[in-house]
Copies of this chain bind each other. A is one copy, B any other.
Amino acid sequence: VKVGLVGGGVIGGGWAGRLVECGLDVVLYDPRPETERRVGEVLAAAERSWAKLVRAPRTRGTVTFASSLAQAVTDADIVQESATEDEALKRALLAEIDRHAQPDALVCSSTSGLLPTRLQADMSRPQRFVVGHPFNPVYLLPLVEVCAGERTAAETVGRACSFYESIGMRPLRVRREVDGFVADRLLEALWREALWLVHDGVATTADVDDAIRFGPGLRWAQMGTFLTYRIAGGEDGMRHFLEQFGPALQWPWTKLVEVPELSEAFVELLAAQSDDQAEGRSIWELERHRDENLVAIVAALRARDEGAGRVLREHEERVRVAAASEPRAGRLRLHVAVVPPQWIDYNGHMTESRYLEVCADATDALLRHVGVDESYLAGGHSLYTVESHLRHLREVAVDARLVVDTQVLRGSGKHLHLFHVLIDGETGEPVATGEHMLLHVDTRAGRTTPMLEPVAGAVAALAGEHAALGWPEAAGRSVGM
């Protein structure tokens, strides 16, 4: 898939970042002189974040800067327009994109609130146009609102959603065309109220931010307003909540009628308070800071297989390529790991416990392979590692792709004796070996017991096959031998 980007500001650059990290080639057009430098900074931020967050092998795509709009869109399968929020400008750009793009190319606009029916008005192929509104930073936040205009084909909406999913996003189909779609209307409502609070001296900009990030913001990162309030309603659910708290909507808690005038004095006040809050940190420091926080939060949600974390995990699974090479004859190759930066220690290499983590993951993969699944575990049986012997043969650097070849040395009764070789996926050289003894346990009784079917049979079969491989030289040795 080739993508043409029109507009290289914070949103266009963010699209470029996400697309490049997903391995797509991008041609970007923005006539402003600073475009290459500015997009370059966003690409660097995206790479930093994906390197930290994404656990699937990444092949990065490329960005080419076009000297004309036509050049950016002529070969593209998808064109994403991210110009300034100016309806006349966007209409003109979209009509020009429409003229130069291939007839079957998809044309999408990043507008955060303009109506698609109006944006597509000057296009000769309006049916292939749809709004795909992302959120800053585009390379980290999965949400993209997809909103059709009156002349958008149903098929276009489906194609756009599939494309956005393929680059790790979570499309939200907007059911009715309205200014601002869904999220920006919510944001705008909160933002107006925030301005009132500062305007009236109830809070500073830092107070408003603290009121969000130490309280409701933590809830919003993992559950929206409706589900949150459903819980607050207790056992009787949403109906009860509405009965109980509905009347509060009539209370004068928020200023509904007017918007505070952005007088020079009020703008000065906001700007000065915001400066205080930034504590001298530049926009780039704040941005990096934000991205690192988002990386940590999304990683935490991935561990829970929740929300944005689940979107990421599903993306990783889609793009994770099986190890291209074959295991050494007869062994099993069930696990591949890509070394993330947080596995690197102060010596610049993978820290020692991560070698065992890779071995343990390979052991888990083997256990699943022989039938230790949810139901086997739920039946009260599992295998516990009781002993390990690791040999660290070579240093491992960040981004290394480690494949693990596994040999079953013994698999009978309650014993499972495994030998893993961790191999550098690039060079094919072994970087470590792990020898492990596992015991099969009755987890309720808390004692060892022979393996049950189908695990016992699968393990015995592997042990039989692997016996032909011979005993690994490094197995059965003690430290220092």
Contacts and interface: CB of A to CB of B under 8 A. Distances in A.
B352 A385 contact: yes
B214 A274 contact: no
Contacts of A462: none
The bracket for how many chain A residues form the interface is: 35 or more
A131 B170 CA distance: 41
Given A182-B202, A293-B301, A306-B293, A217 B224 contact: yes
A387 B384 CA distance: 22
Contacts of A437: 479-480
A380 to B, nearest CB: 11
A234 interface: yes
A405 B143 CA distance: 49
A296 to B, nearest CB: 4
Interface in A169-219: 170, 172, 174-176, 178-197, 200-219
Interface string A286-310: 1100101110111111011011100
13 contacts: A141-B214, A174-B203, A189-B190, A205-B238, A213-B308, A231-B290, A246-B262, A246-B267, A297-B300, A386-B392, A388-B388, A388-B390, A388-B479
A143 B214 contact: yes
A267 B176 CA distance: 20
B187 A209 contact: no
Contacts of A193: 185-186, 188-189
Contacts of A39: none
Q: Which of A208, A215, A359 has the most chain B CB atoms inside 10 A of its CB?
A: A215
A271 interface: yes
B296 A253 contact: no
B294 A214 contact: no
Nearest to A435: B479
A360 interface: yes
Contacts of A300: 296-297, 299-300
A436 interface: yes
A347 interface: yes
Contacts of A465: none
* Residue of A221, A222, A239, A478 ringed by the most chain B CB atoms within 10 A: A221
A270 interface: yes
A319 B141 CA distance: 36
Contact of A227 (B196, B286, B481): B286
A10 interface: yes
